[in-house]
Amino acid sequence: DKGLRVADKGYLNTAVLRSEITFIDGEAGILRYRGYPIEQLALKSSHLESAYLLVYGSLPTQNQRKTFETEVMHHSVVHADAAQFFRSFRYDAHPMAILTSAFAYLGSYYSEANPSLKGQTLFTKGTPESLAIMDKQIYRLIGKATTLAAMAYRVRQGREFVIPPTGLSYTASFLYQMDYHGQTNYQPNPVLAKALDILFLLHADHELNASCTTVLQTGSSLVDPFSAIAAGCASLYGPLHGGANEAVIRMLISIESPKNVPAFLEAVKKREKVLSGFGHRVYKTSDPRSFIVRKTADEVFKITGKDELLETAMALHEAAMKDEYFIKRRLAPNVDFCGLIYRAMGFPLDFFPVLFAVPRVVGWLAHWRQMMLQEGGVKIWRPRQMYVGAGQRDYVPVEERE
C-alpha cells in the first residue's frame, strides 16, 4: 500500500496542513490569534477587529478597520426574497437547520462566488481583482451571518424581520435585529452587547476543529465559499462540537440540583451519560476561553441576575475536578459553559449553537482564504483508506443464497 499510514481515529495527532492563523498549546492552555494572546484581544479588541486580524493576518490600521467595518455592515442586508425562504420552515425548525440551509441558499445569489464552474480558479490567483471579489464574499458572509441568525430567531416567533440598523456595532446591530419590536428609540443594553461581543471574539476561530476541517474539505473542490460555510455549519451543529453549549444546559437541567451531581457523575463514568462542556481534543489542562467566559458571566449576571443553574454548574465543576476518573482523562471545562450566559441573556436554548456559528464564520473564512491563496494553488482533499474488507468473490444468484 505504498507506505500508507492510517491516521488515528478522529484524526487524533494528525496534522493535515501548515497554518499561520491560530496557535493552540493544549498542555499550557494557550490560544493566540495570529500571535496575539486571546486574553489581550478579549480585553482590548472587538470581534470585528479580531475578524480582520484572523482573515488578513495583522491588526488593521484605523483606515483598514473603518473600511472593513463599513463593508461588513454594508453587506449585512439580505435580499428581501429571503423572507419567503425563512418562512418556508416549520415554526419548530431547529435554528441551526435553518442557518445551515440559509448559508447555502445565500450562495445562489452570487454566481461570481462560484468562478470554478466557469472553469476559472479565480480565487487562487491572488490578483488585485480576484482578491477584491474574494473580499466581497468575506464581507457578505460575515455581515449577513448575524442577519440570517436574527431571521432564524424571528421567523419562529412569527415576527417581522428587522432591517439591520445603521450606526450600531456589529454585535449591537445583531441584538437590535433580534429584539426590536417597535419600542421607541430602542438601543440594546451596552453591557450585554459588549459581553456578547467578547463571546463572539472567543468563538471566532480554533484552528482545525471539526467544522473548520469540514469547510476546508468542502472548499478544496473549489465550490463557492457559501456552500463550504454551509457544510461547516452542519458540522458545528453536532452535540460533540458547537451543539455542546445547548447540551450543557440540557444536562444541567436534567441534573436539577447540586445534590444530584455525584449520581450524575457516576452515570457518566458508566458511559450512560455525557458530561457536556468538559473535555477537549487539544486542551488537556484548561481551555483558556473558559476563564474569560467566567469573568464575562459575572458582568452579565450583574444585569440579568444569576442563573439558577449556576449552582449546579459550579457543583458539577468542583466535583469533576476532584474526581480521579476525570483527572486521569484530563477533562477540564471547555468554552461551552457560555450557555449559562446565553440563557441569562434570554436566548432560547436551541439558539445557542447559532451564537457559536455566527462568530465562527470568521475563522472558517480565514482558513478558507488561506487555502485559496496557498503556494502552488489548491489541492483537492482526497485522503486514502486502508482496505480491510472481503477479497474478490463471485456473484451468487438470490435463489442459491442461504
DSSP label at 239? T
Site for ligand SDX contains 105 (CB under 6 A): no
The 3-state secondary structure of 106-168 reads HHCCCHHHCHHHHCCCHHHCCCHHHHHHHHHHHHHHHHHHHHHHHHHHHHCCCCCCCCCCCCC
Q: Quick check: is 336 catalytic?
A: yes
Question: Would you count residue 274 as binding ligand SDX (CB under 6 A)?
Answer: yes
**Contact flag: residue 335 with ligand SDX (CB under 6 A):** yes
Q: Distance from first CA to last CA of the chain, Å, rounded?
A: 35
Q: Which of 241, 317, 343, 369 binds ligand SDX (CB under 6 A)?
A: 241
Q: Which is nearer to ligand SDX, 75 or 289 (CB)?
A: 289
Cell numbers of 392, please?
A: 474478490
Residue 278 interacting with ligand SDX (CB under 6 A): yes
| Element housing 99 (H / E) | helix 95-107
Output the nine-digit C-alpha cell for 135: 473580499
C-alpha cell at 98: 435553518
- The verdict on 265 binding ligand SDX (CB under 6 A) reads no
Catalytic residue among 280, 307, 350, 367: 280
The answer to whether 250 contacts ligand SDX (rule: CB under 6 A) is no
Cβ proximity to ligand SDX, 21 vs 151, nearer residue: 21
> Which region among 43-51, 67-75, 326-334, 342-350 touches ligand SDX (by CB under 6 A)?
326-334
Chain-centre distance for alpha carbon 355:
8
Q: Which is nearer to ligand SDX, 76 or 312 (CB)?
A: 312
Phi and psi angles of residue 342, each rounded to the nearest 5 degrees, phi first: -60, -40
Does the protein bind ligand SDX through residue 240 (CB under 6 A)?
A: yes
In one letter, which amino acid is 240? Answer: L
Which CB, 177 or 370, lies closer to ligand SDX? 370
Closest distance of CB 261 from ligand SDX, Å? 14
**Candidate ranges 84-92, 163-171, 276-284, 343-351; the one touching ligand SDX (CB under 6 A):** 276-284
Task: Return the residue nearest ligand SDX (CB atom).
Answer: 279
Which parts of 20-49 interact with ligand SDX (CB under 6 A)? Answer: none
Check residue 4 and give left, alpha or beta (phi > 0: left; psi -120 to 50: alpha).
beta
Of the residues 82, 150, 230, 244, which one makes contact with ligand SDX according to CB under 6 A? 244
**DSSP H helical segments within 305-338, as ranges?**
310-322, 324-328
Binder to ligand SDX among 146, 209, 213, 218 (CB under 6 A)? 209
Asked if 310 and 357 count as a contact pair (C-beta separation under 8 A), the reply is: no
- 206 an active-site residue? no
Beta bridge partners of 32: 23, 37
Site for ligand SDX (CB under 6 A): which residue of 206, 317, 367, 369?
206
Residue 15 to residues 10, 314, 374, 376, 387, Cα–Cα distance (Å): 12, 35, 16, 19, 22
Q: Which of residues 348-387 bind ligand SDX (CB under 6 A)?
A: none
Quote the least distance from Cβ 191 to ligand SDX, whole Å: 25
Binding site for ligand SDX (CB under 6 A): 10, 206, 209, 240-241, 244, 268, 274-281, 329, 331, 334-336
Indicate which residues carry an active-site annotation: 280, 336
